[in-house]
């Protein structure tokens, strides 16, 4: 079944399902300024919601069937019976929206099914959390459709549960939280221990600065194991050291206890302990308007992800090194790693030169051509209709 790209999602929904959607909701992807691989460790993170969103249109059905189609995927209609919902089954992409229905099923108390149309412009596989955008758009839509009044942190927790259990990816809570709680003009300082937030203004345009996003076009598969293994190392460090969390030990105290940990556990947990400090230092730099210092902090994060946590890849490193060699204030890989995107904090007038230089460095290294976006903090999930 084809989808007319030019029509609105409501019109497409009508063409496909013969009825108008009851609800349309949208949720954004994210970039993360600093605080990588610490959300599952009760850490602090500093992401922001990007402008690109995933939009879902939903109508209830009387029978217990889910019919679902995404114009970002194969545009084929997939039908699933509500009674057959089970974690880790079904086509990979459908697990995200269906996982949210599964995670909310007890709250919905509804015997029928759903027609769902998904559309959006969050680039897939670019490390910009298209999966969280999809989960959060569905969670926001169902919250409104059934007048559930679920709080924003709880909606983020539901979306995370869908991803952890239904999709099978042991992610933390950062992507879902910022997709739901992000605000225009600010980065979100999120305390992953209790999901308390502070909005930190990140208004770089008047300063002549730009945040360039470099999508390496190398696609990562975070369910592959590297993510979970590293998370497990950090959790092991917490157990061996007998502390509540890596957040509850200072960098000097952690270093002093190095001999209690094996080398891999130590170096991975060292990333966690230092990265949490970098987030707080980064926020202090932003509050002081010191973007030079902020840039240095994000670059230090990259070095730690590359050398200690070892989740970078040659494409990400070339992007970062090229940006820095051209005078970026700071640059780093973002997200899970092994591909996806890097960010560079640059002077706006350098944008075109920077893109050219990075594209040529990729060509010279024999990598596939990168894609570029610029991004500013945008609004979180919302109901559109």
Tokens of 87: 């974690």
Shortest distance in whole angstroms from residue 299 CB to ligand GLA: 17
Q: Are 354 and 328 in contact (CB under 8 A)?
A: yes
Shortest distance in whole angstroms from residue 100 CB to ligand GLA: 15
Measure the N-to-C terminal CA separation of the chain; round to a whole number of Å: 24
Shortest distance in whole angstroms from residue 21 CB to ligand GLA: 28
Shortest distance in whole angstroms from residue 374 CB to ligand GLA: 20
Q: Which residues contact 54 (CB under 8 A, 6 or more apart)?
A: 26, 27, 28, 29, 72, 118, 119, 120, 122, 130, 133, 134, 137
Residues in the chain: 385
Shortest distance in whole angstroms from residue 244 CB to ligand GLA: 19
* Nearest CB to ligand GLA, comparing residues 113 and 336: 336
* Nearest CB to ligand GLA, comparing residues 129 and 197: 129
* Nearest CB to ligand GLA, comparing residues 182 and 336: 336
307 is catalytic: no
* Nearest CB to ligand GLA, comparing residues 46 and 326: 46
Shortest distance in whole angstroms from residue 130 CB to ligand GLA: 11
- The helix/strand count (H/E) of the chain reads as 11, 12
Set 42, 175, 290, 353: catalytic member: 175
Residue 263: is it exposed, middle or buried by C-beta count within 10 angstroms (0-12/13-18/19+)?
exposed
* Nearest CB to ligand GLA, comparing residues 164 and 350: 164
How far is it, in rounded angstroms, from Cα 97 to Cα 66? 10
* Nearest CB to ligand GLA, comparing residues 40 and 114: 40
Alpha helices in the chain (DSSP H): 9-17, 95-108, 130-145, 152-161, 174-181, 226-241, 251-256, 263-287, 291-307, 314-325, 351-365
Which residue carries 């690109």 as its tokens?
52
Residue ranges that bind ligand GLA, judged by CB under 6 A: 36-37, 39-40, 129, 171-172, 174-175, 335-336
Distance (Å) of CA 305 to CA 119, 172, 269, 375: 33, 17, 11, 22
How far is it, in rounded angstroms, from Cα 28 to Cα 46? 16
Which are the catalytic amino acids?
175
């Amino acid at each position: 079944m084809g989808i007319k790209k030019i029509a609105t999602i409501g019109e497409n929904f009508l063409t496909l399902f013969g009825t108008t959607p009851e609800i349309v909701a949208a949720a954004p992807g994210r970039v993360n300024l600093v605080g990588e691989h610490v959300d599952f460790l009760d850490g602090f993170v500093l992401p922001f919601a990007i402008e690109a969103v995933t939009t879902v249109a939903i109508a209830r059905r009387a029978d217990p069937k889910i019919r679902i189609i995404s114009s970002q995927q194969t545009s084929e209609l997939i039908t699933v019976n509500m009674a057959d919902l089970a974690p880790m089954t079904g086509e990979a992409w459908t697990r995200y929206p269906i996982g949210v229905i599964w995670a909310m099923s007890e709250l919905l108390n509804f015997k029928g099914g759903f027609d769902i149309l998904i559309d959006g412009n969050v680039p897939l596989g670019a490390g910009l959390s298209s999966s969280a955008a999809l989960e959060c758009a569905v969670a926001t839509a169902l919250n409104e459709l059934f007048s559930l009044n679920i709080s924003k942190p709880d909606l983020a927790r539901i979306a995370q549960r869908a991803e952890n259990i239904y999709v099978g990816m042991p992610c933390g809570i950062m992507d879902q939280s910022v997709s739901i709680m992000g605000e225009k003009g600010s980065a979100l300082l999120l305390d992953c221990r209790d999901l308390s937030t502070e909005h930190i203004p990140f208004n770089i345009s008047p300063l002549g600065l730009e945040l360039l996003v470099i999508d390496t076009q190398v696609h990562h598969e975070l369910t592959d194991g590297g993510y979970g293994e590293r998370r497990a190392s950090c959790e092991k460090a917490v157990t061996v050291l007998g502390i509540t969390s890596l957040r509850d030990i200072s960098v000097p105290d952690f270093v002093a206890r190095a001999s209690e940990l094996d080398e891999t556990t130590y170096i991975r947990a060292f990333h966690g302990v230092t990265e949490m400090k970098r987030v707080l230092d980064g926020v202090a730099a932003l509050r002081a308007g010191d973007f030079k210092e902020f840039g240095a902090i994000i670059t230090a994060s990259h070095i730690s992800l590359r050398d200690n946590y070892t989740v970078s890849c040659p494409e990400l490193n070339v992007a970062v090194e090229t940006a820095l060699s051209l005078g970026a204030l700071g640059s780093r890989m973002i997200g899970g790693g092994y591909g996806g995107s890097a960010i560079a904090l640059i002077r706006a007038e350098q944008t075109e030169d920077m893109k050219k230089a990075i594209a040529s460095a990729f060509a010279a290294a024999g990598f596939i051509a990168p894609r570029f976006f610029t991004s500013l903090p945008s609004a979180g999930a919302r109901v559109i209709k």
